[in-house]
């Protein structure tokens, strides 16, 4: 599929798809990640006038700032944005809704507002010593490097201080894609060593197909960043951060095992006597996201949240509890994949189109 679409761009098969007529309806899409972009493009093709509002200075959301360039080149975003601009989508950067402009102002100026701000609230590590210098959220680390690659000077890329893994013993806590991105970036910085800790036990090398089909098979997977160099340790919990002169120097860890409780459910328990200390000059927290940030934007929108702290909106119509406000992508479903965000953005566009026009010809 990647080869096909790359060939399509190279050969000029993929061109702007202009709507034959306009509807006169204006839609504000807040967030320029995959959900917001997918939603805005479909709305433009339906004849509406979408404007995408992005708080950062470039379009793309975490595709732009959270995924390293060695994993996804940013010209892939740029060519799609150019296509969308030709189709009539307006992009407004450096516009933080709730701060730069109020939600009410958007509701006054636009027929519909779509919340597509992603799930940017990172899961923290609540341990003794968390406040030590050298412990950072993964996205703070990754975003800086992407801004440098884009040509920003250091003061602009790292306004709160440079985060560099050069010459350091780096520990990445979290075994997912974001953790792998931290590994690859740390190696490119010139880290002395990189260790990745995962709280779950090590998966089997080969999956049991008869037990997993049709679900995603459970087996040990190794990313390209992990192949470039890192130590991986499984079933490990971090207990305490050890510091010297206010800076992190080591992590106190313990090994875990899964034990069946009285009700048969598996629970994690620490293995007595398994404590160990791991040298660490930099610790990167890549343990996932809890949901969207609850900030001035969500407060002014006055939307309800579900039990997972995401914006409450059903997949049937993507409507929030506030009139004329819709939500899609990670902001609605919680942390997920780019393909899910694109799907939700497109479905939300169809729902908005039907809401505005009474019927929609957009694909569901």
Residues 72, 97, single domain; the answer is yes
* Residue 223 dihedral angles phi and psi, to the nearest 5°: -80, 165
> Is 363 a domain residue?
no
How far out from the chain centre does Cα 80 lie?
19
Per-residue model confidence as pLDDT tens digits over 152-201: 999 899 988 999 999 999 999 999 999 999 999 999 999 999 999 999 99
Same domain? 33 vs 91: yes
Q: How far is CA 242 from CA 197, 251, 272, in A?
A: 17, 6, 21
- The number of residues making up the chain comes to 364
What pLDDT, on the 0 to 100 scale, is given for residue 211? 73
**Letter string b/e over residues 249-261, b meaning 16 or more CB atoms within 10 A of that residue's CB:** bbbbbbbbeeeee
Quick one: 276 and 342 in the same domain? no
Residue 277 and residue 142 share a domain: yes
Are both 274 and 253 inside the same structural domain?
Answer: yes
pLDDT at 214 over 80: no
Residue 160 within a domain: yes
Are residue 102 and residue 194 in the same domain, yes or no?
no
The span from the CA of 206 to the CA of 212, in Å, is 12
Average pLDDT over residues 261-267: 85
Residue-range definition of the domain harbouring residue 181: 124-285
Burial (CB count within 10 angstroms: exposed 0-12, middle 13-18, buried 19+), residue 2: exposed
318-340, pLDDT tens digit by residue?
A: 999 999 999 999 999 999 999 99
254 and 308 within one domain: no
Residue 67 covered by a domain: yes
Q: Give the pLDDT score at 84.
A: 98
Question: 264 falls in which pLDDT band (50, 70, 90)?
Answer: confident
Q: What is the DSSP letter of 255?
A: E
- CA 160, CA 144: separation in Å to the nearest integer? 10
Q: Find out whether 114 and 328 touch, Cβ atoms under 8 Å.
A: yes
Last residue of a domain, one of 236, 263, 285: 285
**pLDDT tens digits, one per residue of 43-101:** 999 999 999 999 999 999 999 999 999 999 999 999 999 999 999 999 999 999 999 99
Q: Which pLDDT belongs to residue 86?
A: 97
> Environment class of residue 190 by beta-carbon count within 10 Å: exposed (0-12), middle (13-18) or buried (19+)?
exposed
In a domain, 78, yes or no: yes
- Express the helix, strand and coil content of the chain in percent, nearest 5 each: 30, 25, 45
Question: Do residues 175 and 247 share a domain?
Answer: yes
Number of domains in the chain: 2
Any domain includes 362: no
Q: What span, in angstroms and rounded, lies between the C-alpha atoms of 21 and 45?
A: 9
Pick the last residue of a domain from 228, 250, 285. Answer: 285
Query: Quick one: 228 and 294 in the same domain?
Result: no
Q: Where are the alpha helices (DSSP H) in 230-335?
A: 296-301, 330-333
ω into 276 cis (within 30 of 0): no
55 touches 95 (CB < 8 A) = yes
193-198 and 169-173 beta bridge pairing: parallel
Query: Residue 252's beta-bridge partner residues?
Result: 240, 277
**Is 364 a domain residue?**
no
Cβ proximity of 89 and 40 under 8 Å: yes
| Residue 208 and residue 303 in one domain | no
134 shares its domain with 195: yes
How many angstroms separate the CA atoms of 168 and 186, rounded?
Answer: 9
Euclidean distance between CA atoms 118 and 269, whole angstroms: 33
CATH number of the domain to which 325 belongs: 3.50.50.60
d(CA 132, CA 61): 29
pLDDT over 90 at 258, yes or no:
no
Spatial separation of the C-alpha atoms in residues 330 and 340, rounded to whole Å: 8
Q: Say if 269 falls within a structural domain.
A: yes
The upper half-sphere exposure of residue 249, i.e. CA atoms within 13 Å in the direction of its Cβ, equals: 6
**CA 71/CA 69 separation, integer angstroms:** 5
Please check whether residue 66 is in contact with residue 59, taking contact to mean a CB–CB distance below 8 angstroms: no
Task: Find the range with the poorest average confidence among 194-198, 209-213, 234-238, 243-247.
Answer: 209-213
Task: Using pLDDT thresholds of 50, 70 and 90, give the confidence band for residue 213.
Answer: confident
Of 231, 255, 285, the residue that ends a domain is: 285
Pairing of strands 121-122, 289-291: antiparallel
Are residues 267 and 323 both part of a single domain? Answer: no
Within 8 A by CB and 6+ apart from 109, the residues are: 26, 28
């Amino acid at each position: 599929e990647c080869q096909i679409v790359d060939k399509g761009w190279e050969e000029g098969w993929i061109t702007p798809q202009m709507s034959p007529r306009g509807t006169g309806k204006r839609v504000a899409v807040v967030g320029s990640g995959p959900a917001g972009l997918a939603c805005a493009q479909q709305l433009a093709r339906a004849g509406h006038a979408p404007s995408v509002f992005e708080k950062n200075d470039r379009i793309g959301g975490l595709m732009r700032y959270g995924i390293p360039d060695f994993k996804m080149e940013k010209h892939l975003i740029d060519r799609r944005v150019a296509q969308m601009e030709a189709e009539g989508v307006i992009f407004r950067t450096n516009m933080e809704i709730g701060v730069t402009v109020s939600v009410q102002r958007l509701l006054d100026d636009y027929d519909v507002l779509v919340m597509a701000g992603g799930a940017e609230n990172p899961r923290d590590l609540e341990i003794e010593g968390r406040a030590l210098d050298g412990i950072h959220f993964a996205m703070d680390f990754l975003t800086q490097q992407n801004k440098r690659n884009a040509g920003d000077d250091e003061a602009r890329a790292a306004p709160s201080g440079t985060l560099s893994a050069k010459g350091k013993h780096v520990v990445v806590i979290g075994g997912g894609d974001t953790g792998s991105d931290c590994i690859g970036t740390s190696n490119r910085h010139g880290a002395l060593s990189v260790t990745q800790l995962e709280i779950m036990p090590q998966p089997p090398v080969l999956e049991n197909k008869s037990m997993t089909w049709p679900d995603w098979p459970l087996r040990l997977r190794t990313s390209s960043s992990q192949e470039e160099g890192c130590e991986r340790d499984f079933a490990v919990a971090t207990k305490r951060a050890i510091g010297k002169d206010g800076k992190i120097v080591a992590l106190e860890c313990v090994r875990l095992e899964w034990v069946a409780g009285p009700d048969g459910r598996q629970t994690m328990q620490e293995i007595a006597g398994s404590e160990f200390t791991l040298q660490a000059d930099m610790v990167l927290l890549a343990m996932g996201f809890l949901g969207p940030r609850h900030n001035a934007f969500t407060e002014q929108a006055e939307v309800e949240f579900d039990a997972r702290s995401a914006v409450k909106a059903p997949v049937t119509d993507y409507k929030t509890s506030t009139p004329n406000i819709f939500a899609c992508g990670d902001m609605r479903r919680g942390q997920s994949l780019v393909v899910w965000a694109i799907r939700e953005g497109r479905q939300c566009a169809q729902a908005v189109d039907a809401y505005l026009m009474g019927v929609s010809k957009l694909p569901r």
